[in-house]
C-alpha cells in the first residue's frame, strides 16, 4: 500500500474521461465490498485534476485498508469516515453527515444528488456525497493521539525524541486532568461548557486555594493547560472537517500578574564559592563541565546538551559555539526561538571545559531531566545555593546580571542571551571578535584545577 512512483498510477482514460481504477490488495479482498477492482469515474478529462483526485482517493483507500487489518473499532470507524470525506472531496464536495445535509441550501442538496444520479455511480461514492457515514464518536484520549500523530505531526517533526516526549507529556497532562475532573473519558462531541468549567474550577482551586496555608500553583500553569484543551478541541474538529463548532474551552483562562523567574546566583557567590577549587569536584565530568560552560556563556542547558562536533569551533580564530537547530533526520532538535540561534565566544573556564568535549556532551544529550536532577541535587547537598532555591538554570541568569554590571551594550546582551531585539534587524550584529572582547571584560578568574 506504499505510494508508487508512477505519476499516472490507478488512472484509466475511457471515452475521454479519467477513472480511478485500482485492484484491491489480496490481504483485504475478503473484507472489501468493492473487490476485486475499484472503478470510480473522476468526471474530468483534465489529467492534472485527475491526478489530484486520484491522490485523495489513493490515500483514503490506504487508510481504510490499513484499518481493516487492525482490531480497533474506533480506528476502523475513523478510517471509514476519512474515506467518505476523501471521496466527497474528490468530487468537489465538503463531506457532511446526512443529518447535516438538511441544513444546506436546496441548491447544494440538488447538486449533490445530481452528482451521484448516474446508475453506474458506485454505492461507496453515493454514500460519501450524501453523507451516509456517521462521524465516529472519538474519546478525548483517542482524539489526543490523533492530534499528536496527525494534526501536529508537522509541528514536531524537527524535535528530538526527548523534545517530542516532553512536548507530549505536558499536553497529555491537560487531557488527564480533564478526564479526572469530569469523571470519565468523554466522547469529544459530548464535551459541554459545564465540563470545561469543571476543569477551570480545578485549576482555580490550585492557583487560589481556600486554605491560605496550602501550596499554590502559578496562574501560568492553569492558563497553559486550559489552552492545551482548547487547542485540542478546535484542531481535532477542524481535522475531521467540522468547522465553526463552538469551543467549550474558549475564554476560560487565567491572567498572571507576575511571572515567577528562576533565581540567579549572586555574581560574587559564583566567583567565591562555585568556582572555588574542589567545590564541583564531586560532579561527574560532563555535568561539571556543562556548569562551567553555562557560567561563562549563559547558554541554556539544553543548548549545551545538543552541541555536536560541527557546532563546537575550538580551532577558529575566536573559539566559539553555535546554537542552532539540527535538521539531520537522524538527530533532529529545535531551539527555543528564532532569536536563540547565535554564536557565543568561549572565554575563561568555558573554553578550557569545552576543549575536553570537542564532540559535545553525549552523556546528557537526550537526558535533560537527569542532568538537572544531578546538578540540582549536588548543589543542594553541598550547600552551594545561597538561598536553597537556585538551580542549574540560575547560572544563565547570573550571566545576564554580569553583562548588565559590565555595562555591555543592550543589544549585544540580547544577542548573547538569545533574546529578541525589539526593532527591525540590520547587519550581522557585530563580529565574534567584538563579542569576545566584551566578554573578556567580565570573565571570571579561575584555577585550572577546577576543570
Phi-psi region of 16 (alpha: psi -120 to 50; beta: other; left: phi over 0): left
Q: Are residues 172 and 103 in the same domain?
A: no
pLDDT number for residue 155: 85
Q: Of the residues 129, 154, 173, which one is the last residue of a structural domain?
A: 129
Residue 3 lies in a domain: no
Nearest to 392 by CA among 303, 256, 316, 290: 290
Q: Are residues 75 and 15 in the same domain?
A: yes
Q: Are residues 57 and 103 in the same domain?
A: yes
Instruction: Taking residues 187-210, report their average pLDDT.
Output: 94
Residue 309 lies in a domain: yes
User: Cβ distance 314 to 350 under 8 Å?
Assistant: no
User: Cβ distance 411 to 311 under 8 Å?
Assistant: no
| Dihedral sign computed on CA atoms, order 113, 114, 119, 125 | negative
Q: Are residues 147 and 125 in the same domain?
A: no
Nearest to 355 by CA among 303, 306, 392, 320: 320
User: Cβ distance 83 to 61 under 8 Å?
Assistant: yes
Q: Are residues 368 and 421 in the same domain?
A: yes
For residue 135, the SS3 value is coil
pLDDT number for residue 118: 67
Residue 249 lies in a domain: no
Q: Are strands 342-345 and 17-23 parallel, antiparallel or unpaired?
A: unpaired
Residue 24 has pLDDT above 90, yes or no: no
Number of domains in the chain: 3
Greatest mean pLDDT range, 19-33, 49-63, 236-250, 357-371: 357-371
pTM score: 0.69
For residue 165, the SS3 value is helix
Q: Are residues 348 and 396 in the same domain?
A: yes
Q: What is the pLDDT of residues 101-134, one digit of tens each?
A: 767 778 887 887 777 776 566 666 766 667 666 6
Q: Are residues 281 and 428 in the same domain?
A: yes
Q: Are residues 38 and 165 in the same domain?
A: no
Q: What is the pLDDT of residues 251-279, one digit of tens each?
A: 999 987 666 678 999 999 999 999 999 99
Q: Are residues 87 and 162 in the same domain?
A: no
Angle subtended at Cα 401 by Cα 399 and Cα 405, rounded to the nearest 5 degrees: 115
Q: Are residues 175 and 51 in the same domain?
A: no
Residue 1 lies in a domain: no
Least confident window among 9-13, 88-92, 305-309, 374-378: 88-92
Domain that includes residue 228, residue range: 140-239
Q: Of the residues 129, 162, 189, which one is the last residue of a structural domain?
A: 129
pLDDT number for residue 41: 87
Q: Are residues 298 and 433 in the same domain?
A: yes
Specify the CATH number for the domain of residue 336: 1.10.443.10
Tell me if the bond preceding 36 is cis, omega within 30° of 0. yes
Least confident window among 91-95, 215-219, 231-235, 247-251: 91-95
Average pLDDT, the chain: 87
Instruction: Taking residues 78-88, report their average pLDDT.
Output: 74
Residue 236 has pLDDT above 50, yes or no: yes
pLDDT number for residue 119: 52
Residue 257 lies in a domain: no
Annotate 114-136 with b (16+ C-beta within 10 A) or e (fewer): ebbeeeebbebbbbbbbbebebb
Greatest mean pLDDT range, 78-92, 141-155, 419-433: 141-155
Q: Which H or E run includes 40?
A: strand 37-41
The owner of cell 540561534 is: 341
Residue 193 has pLDDT above 70, yes or no: yes
Amino acid at each position: 500500500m506504499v505510494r508508487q512512483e508512477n505519476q499516472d498510477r490507478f488512472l484509466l482514460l475511457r471515452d475521454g474521461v479519467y477513472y480511478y481504477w485500482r485492484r484491491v490488495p489480496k490481504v483485504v479482498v475478503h473484507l472489501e465490498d468493492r473487490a476485486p477492482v475499484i472503478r470510480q469515474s473522476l468526471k474530468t478529462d483534465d489529467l492534472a485534476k485527475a491526478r489530484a483526485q486520484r491522490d485523495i482517493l489513493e490515500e483514503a483507500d490506504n487508510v481504510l485498508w490499513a484499518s481493516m487489518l487492525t482490531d480497533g473499532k474506533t480506528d476502523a470507524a475513523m478510517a471509514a469516515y476519512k474515506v467518505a470525506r476523501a471521496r466527497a472531496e474528490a468530487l468537489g464536495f465538503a463531506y457532511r453527515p446526512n443529518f447535516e445535509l438538511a441544513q444546506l441550501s436546496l441548491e447544494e442538496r440538488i447538486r449533490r444528488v445530481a452528482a451521484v444520479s448516474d446508475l453506474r455511480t458506485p454505492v461507496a461514492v453515493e454514500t460519501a456525497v450524501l453523507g451516509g457515514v456517521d462521524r465516529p464518536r472519538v474519546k478525548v484520549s483517542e482524539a489526543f493521539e490523533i492530534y499528536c500523530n496527525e494534526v501536529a505531526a508537522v509541528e514536531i517533526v524537527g524535535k528530538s525524541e526527548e523534545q517530542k516526549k516532553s512536548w507530549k507529556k505536558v499536553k497529555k497532562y491537560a487531557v488527564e486532568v480533564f478526564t479526572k475532573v469530569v469523571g470519565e473519558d468523554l466522547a469529544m462531541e459530548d464535551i459541554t461548557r459545564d465540563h470545561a468549567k469543571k476543569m477551570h474550577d480545578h485549576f482555580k482551586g490550585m492557583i487560589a486555594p481556600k486554605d491560605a496555608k496550602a501550596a499554590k500553583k502559578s496562574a501560568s500553569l492553569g492558563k497553559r493547560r486550559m489552552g492545551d484543551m482548547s487547542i485540542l478541541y478546535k484542531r481535532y474538529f477542524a481535522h475531521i472537517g467540522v468547522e465553526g463548532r463552538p469551543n467549550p474551552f474558549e475564554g476560560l483562562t487565567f491572567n498572571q500578574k507576575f511571572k515567577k523567574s528562576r533565581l540567579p546566583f549572586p555574581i560574587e557567590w559564583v566567583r567565591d564559592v562555585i568556582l572555588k577549587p574542589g567545590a564541583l569536584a564531586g560532579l561527574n565530568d560532563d555535568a561539571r563541565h556543562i556548569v562551567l560552560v553555562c557560567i561563562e556563556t549563559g547558554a541554556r542547558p539544553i543548548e549545551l546538551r545538543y552541541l555536536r562536533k560541527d557546532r563546537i569551533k575550538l580551532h577558529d580564530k575566536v573559539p566559539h559555539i553555535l546554537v542552532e537547530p539540527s535538521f539531520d533526520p537522524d538527530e533532529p532538535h529545535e531551539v527555543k526561538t528564532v532569536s536563540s540561534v547565535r554564536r557565543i565566544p568561549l572565554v575563561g573556564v568555558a573554553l578550557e571545559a569545552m576543549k575536553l568535549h570537542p564532540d559535545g556532551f553525549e552523556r546528557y544529550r537526550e537526558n535533560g531531566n537527569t542532568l538537572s536532577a544531578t546538578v540540582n541535587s549536588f548543589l543542594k547537598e553541598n550547600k552551594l545555593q545561597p538561598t536553597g532555591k537556585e538551580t542549574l538554570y540560575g547560572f544563565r541568569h547570573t550571566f545576564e546580571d554580569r553583562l548588565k554590571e559590565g555595562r555591555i551594550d543592550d543589544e549585544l546582551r540580547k544577542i548573547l542571551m538569545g533574546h529578541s531585539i525589539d526593532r527591525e534587524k540590520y547587519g550581522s550584529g557585530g563580529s565574534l571578535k567584538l563579542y569576545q572582547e566584551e566578554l573578556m571584560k567580565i570573565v571570571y578568574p579561575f584555577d585550572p584545577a577546577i576543570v
